[in-house]
Chains A and B, each alone.
Chain A
Amino acid sequence: MEHTDFKTEELIQSRKARKFNLWLGMIGMFMMFAALSSGFIVYTASGVDKGIKTLLPDTFVYSTAVIVLSSLTLHLAYRAVKHESLDRQKLFLLLTLALGIVFFFLQVQAWSVLTGRGIYFINNNASQSFIYIFTGLHLAHILAGLIVLVRCLLGALKPIPYVDNQFRMNLATIFWHFLDLLWIYIYVFLLLNQ
């Protein structure tokens, strides 16, 4: 929420602080996935019958490509804001949103590939259940990210004042890149354990 009655200096300070909030929030989110990772390692080490015991679906390769691409388009959208080009910003934001949604569906698609192989969430080898937990919780964050992007798009359509638009886009970009990196971390972690 903006406090429009703050003076410039205090506004800058408060913006800086809120951007910092986002970084802290991302640390918190990362801790959650770190805990799951260590849980996975401890669980998987508990017996030879544990572990992923399958190759991760190729769909993950496509979804990784899609989310990396979406980071790129969002970067371009943010550059457009800096160059005060509202049309390009809208275009690239829409593209990012579309790619985000595609990513979402690809992840769900990967689940159906897994279930097709008989690897279900309800599983006596919980290492395999962990795949669903990792991807599912990440998707929950992607949903939040999509809401953030929609809010940016609404801001650009209205359009809100330039500095607000830029600040909003700045935060959204950081968050989306974080989600991108988080997925790459999860994917690499799972690949190393497959």
Chain B
Amino acid sequence: MSSTVISHGAAHHDAHDHHHETFLTKYIFSQDHKMIAKQFLITGIVMAVFAMLLSILFRIQLAWPEEDFPILEVFLGKWAEGGRIKPDFFLSLVTIHGTMMVFFVLTAGLSGTFSNLLIPYQLGARDMASPLMNMLSYWFFFAACVIMVASFFVESGPAAAGWTIYPPLSAVPTAIAGSGLGMTLWLVSMTLFIASQVLGGVNYISTVLNMRTKGMDLWKMPLTIWAFFLTAIVGLLSFPVLVSAVVLLFFDRTVGTSFYLSDLVVQGQILPNEGGSPILFQHLFWFLGHPEVYIVVMPALGLTSEVISTNSRKPIFGYHAMVYSLVGITVLSFIVWGHHMFVTGMNPFLGGVFMITTLIIAVPSAVKAFNYIATLWRGNIRFTPAMMFAIGMVSFFVSGGLTGLYLGNAALDINLHDTYFVVAHFHLVMGSASIFGMLCGVYHWYPKMFGRMMDTKLGYLHFWLTFVGAYLVFFPMHFMGIDGVPRRYYTFTAFPFMDKWISVNMLITWAAIIAGLAQVAFLWNFFSSIWRGKRAPQNPWNANTLEWTTPVEHIHGNWPGEIPTVYRWPYDYSKPGHDTDFIPQHIPFSETMSSNLPHDFEGNEEAIRIQNEWNKQNNREVIEG
């Protein structure tokens, strides 16, 4: 592609733009990847706050099961009659908290925001492959959010069968209140959500493979892009499977087919359904469900890689190993779903196979954890708020990942299954780790999104309260789990053996409330900085990737002139011999003669010859050809 053509194209591009851009096309039905990224982020934040409030509500019930809080009745009406949350509503809270956090916040809010923002920016593209599909992806997501929230306004309440919506509970509308209209709305919402993810994911993959700027070969891509790319592949292969599961469930619920149902008596009535298998649903669900947890964590790993390298002022340790470990996780994620089903009466041999594949995932995960630590090792670390969250992410990934080794063992899992141990495990390894990855991304790329800086001090306050709070909330749950306390139970006082854990529940709930309040610091910082933050320079973190070569003011097409050409990988930090501690990707080697190394030329003999001539003139060591 000739650069003059691009430059001409861009100028042409701009001239046209300002003519026909209205409020509606710029802010609402925008097809610009930067605006869509902001839409995803803000919707994600709203959903996160909503889902967090739900968790505070059920935490109150868990800590003080015998007390009344009349204020709850004011807000929740008959769902908290007398100021105490009803059991049915408790289950709804748990269900919708999980659904919103996993899908709306950590899938759409995380991937949607940063894939949209960074894929075109860091690859040097003017926009996504299909801006229209991109816009549709957001609006399907938005509709899914609205419908899920709307389920709080139906008489029978929102879905209550858990975020995994196992039949028969979810398939028999008369089973519990939450299996009625609320469940139907859940399914509709989720179908829209899957459409959104597939549209988005297709676009991300296609953009990465087709729209890279000149010189940007796959091995020069930042790790963020690798992570988004592989995440999108996982999503594309797994989300359609959930559609199949949901379609069958839908027919079981509405017309009376028997895909999942058999031999049921509900409220004294024998159901006509025969011959169905609820385990079939679990297979289909977890074939999506397990890759889904990697859809949640891989973008966080990508963002963290970038932020840790930039703020350690060091190249990422083991770039290739980082990529291959992501690839390894991607492949393995599809062959481990059975570890969620060890207690379904699975053939022990099959359980053994799933156990082995599951434990193998520890290898690429450990590679990543060690590489992060090795990158930090003797770095010139800048503790920006983004860096704090990145390090926090690594901490949660390690401490949550270790318990994965326990749960991955079939023999141990049979004991720990459905206890608070599992809750502790996944809240640390995919909940907290991913949220911290996402927040690290928000703090780091905020200047790129809004052209202003966030407040650093509020950032530190937010970090420490959230970090300590999250550990206080989730760490004690391990001990409850080992003691056999089951998850999703409504009152701890109803079971003598769980009585002693109420004091711990109170600690957890207070920690949750304080960590929840800490988010006010973030929300204030985020929204007020949009207008009142310090104006951002073009490259506030002295980073190497291409997004920092674009002007601070957003323009359609991203670069005013031609798109920069890429000459080097994105991690040339603190390269010996260079006068600054970073060399952006678009700086050619001819401008950095004093710091070039033999492997930079990838065997290009002409370049080596020129470098050697320069080296001789400047008394530098001559490179072996």
A interface residues (Cβ-Cβ under 8 A, vs B): 1, 3, 5-10, 13-14, 16-18, 20-21, 24-25, 27-29, 31-36, 38-39, 42-43, 46-47, 49-50, 121-126, 129, 133, 137
Contacts and interface: CB of A to CB of B under 8 A. Distances in A.
Nearest to A122: B256
Given A31-B237, A42-B280, A1 B206 contact: no
Contacts of B277: 42-43, 46
Nearest to A127: B275
Contacts of A43: 259, 277, 280
A7 B4 CA distance: 11
Interface in B244-282: 244-245, 247-248, 251, 255-259, 272-277, 280
A39 B275 contact: no
A120 to B, nearest CB: 9
B287 interface: yes
A66 B375 CA distance: 62
B211 interface: yes
Nearest to A16: B210
Contacts of B238: 31
Interface string B127-152: 00111110000000000000000000
Contacts of A126: 257-259, 275-276
Interface string B12-30: 1100110000000000000
Contacts, number: 133
B129 A18 contact: yes
Contact of A124 (B8, B240, B275): B275
B244 to A, nearest CB: 4
B113 interface: no
Given A28-B198, A35-B244, A35-B287, 20 more contacts: A3-B131, A5-B16, A6-B9, A9-B5, A14-B129, A17-B206, A17-B211, A18-B129, A20-B206, A20-B210, A21-B133, A28-B240, A34-B241, A35-B240, A36-B244, A39-B283, A43-B277, A124-B275, A126-B275, A126-B276
B333 interface: no
Interface string B25-69: 000000100000000000000000000000000000000000000
A123 B206 contact: no
A123 B240 CA distance: 25
Contacts of A33: 244
Nearest to B197: A28
Most buried by B among A42, A43, A137: A43
B210 A32 contact: no
Contacts of A8: 5
Nearest to A27: B236
29 contacts: A1-B31, A5-B16, A9-B6, A9-B9, A13-B1, A13-B211, A14-B211, A16-B210, A17-B209, A20-B206, A20-B210, A24-B205, A28-B239, A29-B240, A31-B237, A32-B244, A35-B245, A35-B287, A39-B244, A39-B248, A39-B284, A42-B283, A43-B280, A122-B255, A122-B256, A123-B258, A124-B273, A125-B275, A133-B247
Given A28-B239, A123-B258, A9 B210 contact: no
Contacts of B170: none
A105 B126 CA distance: 45
Interface in B84-136: 126, 129-133
Contacts of A32: 240-241, 243-244
Nearest to B1: A9
B203 interface: yes
B240 A50 contact: no
B203 A21 contact: yes
A21 B130 contact: yes
Contacts of A13: 1, 210-211
A20 B280 contact: no
Contacts of A7: 5-6, 8-9, 12
B176 interface: no
A5 B127 CA distance: 13
A139 to B, nearest CB: 13
A32 B287 CA distance: 12
Given A27-B236, A28-B202, A17 B31 contact: no
A113 B257 CA distance: 19
B20 to A, nearest CB: 10
B2 interface: yes
A129 B258 contact: yes
Contacts of B432: none
A35 to B, nearest CB: 4
A79 to B, nearest CB: 27
B207 interface: yes
Contacts of B274: 124
A31 B287 CA distance: 11
Contacts of A129: 251, 257-259
A184 to B, nearest CB: 20
Contacts of B129: 14, 17-18, 20-21
B275 A50 contact: yes
A10 B126 contact: yes
A49 B9 contact: no
B128 to A, nearest CB: 8
Contacts of B257: 121-123, 126, 129
Nearest to B126: A10
Most buried by B among A3, A35, A125: A35
Contacts of A27: 236-237
A124 B258 contact: yes
Contact of B131 (A1, A29, A39, A124): A1
B258 A20 contact: no
Nearest to A129: B257
A17 B210 contact: yes
A8 B203 CA distance: 21
B172 to A, nearest CB: 15
B12 A20 contact: no
Contacts of B6: 7, 9-10
